[in-house]
Amino acid sequence: MIEENVAALLEEISRGNPFGEKVTLVAATKTRTEEEVRRAIRAGICTVGENRVQEFTKKYSAFEGAEAHFIGRLQTNKVKYLIGKAALIHSVDRDGLAREISSLAERKNAVQRVLIEVNAGGEESKGGFSAEETLFALERISALPALKVCGLMAMLPLSEDEALLSRLASGMRKLYEEARERFEGIEILSMGMSGDWRLAIANGSNMVRIGTAIFSARNPV
């Protein structure tokens, strides 16, 4: 199944988004075994994203052949395990975290690529800067010496209301374009998961993070 799912997703995503941009498929590996991860990579996955630092470290050798991203909530005291290993951290949701990433990267003579996480739906339960705060946060965070801010990440709310989701997704695209006009090197809008990736791409996402639609229902934790 993994092989068929990856092939079908890669084929559909290869059409890009309506803005003429290529869309990157990130396979979300949380709760998946190393064997499942390896199968996905053999099937054509070039980028994987893990949620938990401990899992990222444990599965790191299984990520061989793909670019490894970190996509989950990140505690400041765990940043050290990712520097030099995560090609992109999607989930920079507060200034303190950004400062810690920059200072550890600087110590390792590295530059860490990150995305700024936006709480697109203004949900209490989710991390991220509010849409209004995002450009200010970008200004502060992109001034840090050992970080390179490459774009924005958002998780849309779980909702059946397609009109609401489209409105939020296109709002994210607008915010992304404003960011791109004002700051150098902004090129990624990471938005869309198994339930909403088509809608996200239709509204201008250029990176989707997909777990269930590749690996089927989640393994119990």
Ligand X SMILES: *Cc1c(COP(=O)(O)O)cnc(C)c1O
Question: Hey, what are 43's tokens?
Answer: 């099937």
Nearest-CB residue for ligand X: 211
For ligand X, the binding residue among 66, 68, 71, 137 (CB under 6 A) is: 71
Tell me how far, at minimum, the Cβ of 50 lies from ligand X, in Å: 9
219 binds ligand X (CB under 6 A): no
Q: Which of left, alpha, beta for 216 (phi over 0: left; psi -120 to 50: alpha)?
A: left
Binding residues for ligand X restricted to 3-22, rule: CB under 6 A: none
CB closer to ligand X, 103 vs 194? 194
HSE-up of residue 145 (Cα within 13 Å, Cβ side): 8
128 binds ligand X (CB under 6 A): no
Tell me how far, at minimum, the Cβ of 217 lies from ligand X, in Å: 9
What is the x/- site pattern for ligand X, positions 22-41, by CB under 6 A? ------x-x-----------
Alpha-carbon distance 141 to 149, whole Å?
8
Q: Which amino acid is at 159?
A: S
86 binds ligand X (CB under 6 A): no
Binding residues for ligand X restricted to 137-156, rule: CB under 6 A: 155
**DSSP labels, 98-163:** HHHHHHHHHHTT--EEEEEEE-TT--TTS-SB-HHHHHHHHHHHHTSTTEEEEEEEE---S-S-HH
Q: Which residues bind ligand X (CB under 6 A)?
A: 28, 30, 51, 71-72, 155, 193-195, 209-213
